[in-house]
A and B are shown apart, each in its own frame.
Chain A
Amino acid sequence: MRRVIRHRLFWPIVALLVLIAINTIARPQFIGITVRDGQLYGALIDILRNSAPLMLVALGMTIVIATRGIDLSVGAVMAVSGAVALTIIDASSDPTGVGTVAVAVLAALGVSLALGMWNGLLVSVVGIQPIIATLVLMLAGRGVALLITDGFITTVNSPPYSFIATGYLIGLPVAFLISLTAIIVIALFERRTALGVLTEAVGINPEASRLAGVRARGIVFTAYAVTGLLAGIAGIIYSANIRAADANATGLFIELYAILAVVLGGTSLMGGKFTIAGTVVGVLTIQTLESTILFLGVPSAQSPVFFAIVVIVVVIVQSPRLHAWARSAVRARARGAASDSSIDKAKVAS
């Protein structure tokens, strides 16, 4: 059992450490942390702060994937969330007031939660394939965000709002603290309650879970609803950072990076057992990789090439074919494939 856990997180953590080591060798100030006015600064701190939106989205994605689903709409939900918040602030009489910001944030989160619940409804009640159900929102969501902002990029100057993205609390970036809180809350919720185990059961063997009396519908619905909420938070942080609601650019491709983070962390795309810690490591790895690429002087627009290579390497390594290149494993796969085939299921079912 212990070996399994070590197996799971071992390589992701090693990969992250190697990446950090390479960076440190190239620029020793990478791991340098300076303190100014009681606040921490440094490349590592930047990574912690900048990774917040991706971290939040990836957390939700992990749970959704565990139920054998996927959520492609997170980027669009981010855009809507930012649009709602900024439009409220922009339209209010006191854009710099804390009260206004609070109202804007709550409204944005409410809308995001509703969008997540919409996805949950489509998947768990109507029974639509997750990829399609969330594709709809992915398409329509940005349009909705554009409508909310009237097609413009709404900008605001609101110190309390910007504080969310750039401010500090107890010496650490607020954005990081938000994502840290989310990690802790989700981890506690999944592991302290039975939600995590039941989610895994549903993902690993939906039929056995059904026969065991597990109520899958509620679990799946909650997964999408929570993901929507997390995407909403991410959207607020993102828009607070650029002080604008850019419906087209917000969260562009973030779902892809989130999926990559989940996969890097060791959770299988086939659903079932998941690891929050793994996703955290995956996100930090992606963020560090991004930072490395930038440092190398590569324009950020070209960074997807590196990530493509990472994705390809990871999936090939995780691929069963690689393991099947052992000679005896070829035989096992013939039997395994045969026993998994519907032919066998038909026989057993009779």
Chain B
Amino acid sequence: MPADVEVPPVVEMTGITIRFPGVLALDGVDFALRPGEVHSLMGENGAGKSTLIKALTGVYPIDAGEITVAGRRSVFATTADAQRAGISTVYQEVNLCPNLSVGENIMLGHEPRSAGGIDWKATHSEAAAHLESLGLQLDTRSQLSTHSIAIQQLVAISRAIVLDAKVLVLDEPTSSLDRGEVERLFAVIRDLRGKGVAILFVSHFLDQVFEISDRITVLRNGRLVGEYAASELTRAQLVSKMIGRELDELAALSSVADRTIDRTRTPVLRATGVGRRGTLEPVDIDAYEGEVVGIAGLLGSGRTELVRLLYGADRADTGAIQVNGKPARIHTPRHAIDHRIAFSSEDRRAEGIIPDLTVAENIVLGVQAKRGAVRRLRKGEADAIVAELIQALGVRPADPTMLAGNLSGGNQQKVLLARWLATAPELLVLDEPTRGIDVGAKADIQRKVAELSDKGLSVIFISSELEEVLRLAQRVVVMRDRRKIGDLDSSEIDLDGLIDFIAHNGSETAA
């Protein structure tokens, strides 16, 4: 259905601004949802997508701007308020009760009652009727957890119907679905659209977004880039709007990517066919001494999943890894560390920094873990290592006794990097090392990575910023929809070419 600008929006968000300590998550964003329309919200990590959704669903309060629902100004203090206003959300992690039956989950809180308590017969038949209206026939008495995530999502959507939702927010609904399940979901979505429901569809799978959306809104760095009719936007345009161009402050490092790598020797790491059922198709990837390999692709393309397998944070189902030519068993982080592979996680808060320990303790953690619990690093030695790394990476404030949790994101990232550099690795794997970091810290980290690779360290790093990838890496591995679709020489491609490659290659439908 073509976007009809005459129809008044059911939800209108104007000038939405949300601030967190140290970060402006949303800056005056406008957003509208119209009935009978599928509207996709697009943007990379840190763009403000999830913050905007949370404002709409009552999770976060807004600092400025207003939300209007069906013409009435609304303030959502709790998620219940948003629900009452007719906004239903189905999260990626389906928020239902796995221990209850399908029918009960649909009707929970609204079960028909008789004199003798809940009327289960009526409950299940009503639930079945709701499912039927979406074209589904499930055994409503079966336990929810016995069904796949795909089915559970559809059950969650059915519940939204029960609650008479005007707006249905689908947050990354297809991440765990296969092709057939996605088809079924889309059929349900189209059905609901036909019934006049306004649907907010959030996904990073470009093909799907173009397949189902009527309208697309793009956010970047907390600001609105624009709202477009899906039919008027090309893939390449969309990608380019999402990723954008960065200031040239870091152009000085362009010489790094031009360095020639000796690929005749044994690679430091050779992974052949590593994959994991349900998360990653088998991938081949090599890293040579002194080489920087960048992994590019959009969110959800499988980049993080790949490096976690290389590091042993997750265990691969298929494939083999060779370190310096010898087969290596990498099933746990310890194995990787023993092979002198270091890994800095994307989520430095949950998986990297130990917030209640000091900067110094965080930095020596990797070295100490290697030595075991009993042989403690001598204070003098530890202090020296810490001081040197704080200085080399420019950690601010340069206070080793400060609690790591009190540092800014950029400095926490540096501390994490320091931890791994202290272990003198041969291969450094970095997942989004400069995400959410101020430009100054970004430059420091990129400079350090370039310096180290000059000295022979191999680096594999993931970044959503394609300029950064092209600037630092000699080779770029491109991922898409959990597959590797390309292995490019960075000197042979420029930013536009890379964007184009990501947007077009490997998709089933050419744009």
Contacts and interface: CB of A to CB of B under 8 A. Distances in A.
In the complex, A touching B (Cβ < 8 A): yes
Given A201-B357, A344-B50, A215 B92 contact: no
B352 interface: yes
A194 B377 contact: yes
Contacts, number: 123
B371 interface: yes
Interface stretch (B115-123, B208-216, B242-250, B360-368): B360-368
A211 B351 contact: yes
Nearest to B420: A212
B345 interface: yes
B203 to A, nearest CB: 10
A268 to B, nearest CB: 9
B313 A335 contact: no
Interface stretch (A55-63, A153-161, A202-210): A202-210
A331 B62 CA distance: 10
A350 B175 contact: yes
Contacts of A210: 332-333
Contacts of B92: 343, 346-347, 350
A350 B299 contact: yes
A162 B20 CA distance: 63
B429 to A, nearest CB: 11
Given A194-B371, A213-B369, A215-B334, A204 B313 contact: no
B368 A208 contact: no
A197 B371 CA distance: 13
A273 B356 contact: yes
Contacts of A347: 50, 92, 171-172
Interface stretch (B53-61, B106-114, B384-392, B499-507): B53-61
A198 B93 CA distance: 32
B93 A346 contact: yes
B156 to A, nearest CB: 13
A193 interface: yes
Nearest to A210: B333
Contacts of A335: 20, 60
A232 to B, nearest CB: 23
A219 B93 CA distance: 33
Interface string A312-350: 000000000000000000010011001000111111111
Interface residues of B, number: 52
A218 interface: yes
Contacts of B346: 348
A193 B419 contact: no
Given A204-B357, A205-B355, A193 B373 contact: yes
B374 A194 contact: yes
A233 to B, nearest CB: 22
Nearest to A1: B401
Contacts of B403: 1, 4
A208 B354 contact: yes
Interface string A209-231: 11111110011001000000000
B357 A197 contact: yes
Contacts of A4: 403
A216 to B, nearest CB: 10
A248 B313 CA distance: 47
A212 B60 contact: no
Nearest to B313: A211
Contacts of B204: 350
Contacts of B352: 208, 211
A200 interface: yes
A251 interface: no
Interface in A125-180: none
Contacts of A218: 373
Contacts of A6: none
Question: Which 10 A-B residue pairings sit nearest by Cβ, starting from the closest?
Answer: A213-B369, A346-B93, A213-B337, A214-B369, A194-B376, A1-B401, A195-B373, A338-B59, A346-B92, A194-B368
5 contacts: A193-B375, A197-B361, A208-B352, A212-B333, A335-B20
Given A194-B375, A205-B355, A208-B352, 19 more contacts: A192-B376, A194-B376, A204-B355, A205-B351, A207-B351, A213-B337, A214-B369, A219-B373, A338-B59, A343-B95, A345-B350, A346-B92, A346-B172, A347-B50, A347-B171, A348-B346, A350-B92, A350-B175, A350-B300
Interface of A: 1, 4, 192-195, 197-198, 200-201, 204-205, 207-215, 218-219, 222, 272-273, 331, 334-335, 338, 342-350
